[in-house]
Amino acid sequence: MGEAVITKVAEVRQAFEAPERYLHGTGFNIRIRQETVRSLVAGSRFDRILDIGCGNGTISLPLLRPDNRLLLLDVSSTMISIARSNVPAELAGNVQLLNANVMAAPLEPRAYDLIVCLGVLAHVDSPPATIAKIASLLRPGGSLILEFTDSFHPAGLLIVLYHRLLDAFRPSPYALNLLSHRDVFDMLKTSNLRLVSAYRYSLWLPGLHKLFSQNTLYKMVRAIFGTPQQNRNSFLGNQYICLVKG
């Protein structure tokens, strides 16, 4: 019998079964993502929301209301368990949790008027196929909030170099997909998705959370890059949080 083939999805699932680094080392970034998503959808009402790669649920749970429904999806059973614990008891009947890969999950086509997909494209087997799948799930005229890292921006290249140096001593569990913003925008266009706006900022080098508090790191980002309403110095940003329309 030959060796079993381990897919990137399996490697990602295994990595995020121990989510402490994500939840504690990047709490400031989770806060920025949450605030940016709320800003980008402000004034809109959504009946069915899908959060792909939901993590602990704190990005999309604030969008939950008594009259809408939210599906939280993640490949990590640990993340799904944490997200379940964060669902308000009074709205538990409006939330479905699914431990699955979006490419294989039993999801209804053209069913969601808002899809949230943050920090996922770097971890999938095929970014183009993932965006095409998302497009197939979005209702006509629906909204997508998509976050990705431009690894070919100078700030992105610095982080790539950092990780490659680190890999010499402590190899990463899997290789991240390296994408440019042009790559992602071309994928969106191919799937007939239209970019409306983007908030750009940069994260600091990994490990700075050991020197500065999460609140300090958050204030540093806001001081340099501002808010989605007033995005300063966006040319310095390699992190994109985009509002996209179907």
Q: What is the mean pLDDT of residues 179-206?
A: 94
Boundaries of every domain in the chain: 8-245
User: What pLDDT score was predicted for residue 130?
Assistant: 98
The CATH homologous superfamily of the domain defined by 8-245: Vaccinia Virus protein VP39 (3.40.50.150)
Buried b (16+ CB within 10 A) or exposed e, 224-245: ebeebeebeeeeebbbbbbbbe
Say yes or no to pLDDT of 82 above 90: yes
Q: What is the mean pLDDT of residues 68-90?
A: 96
Write out pLDDT tens, residues 136-176.
999 999 999 999 999 999 988 888 787 777 777 777 777 88
* Range of weakest confidence among 3-17, 122-136, 170-184: 3-17
Q: Which residues, at least 6 apart from 186, have a Cβ–Cβ distance to it below 8 Å?
A: none
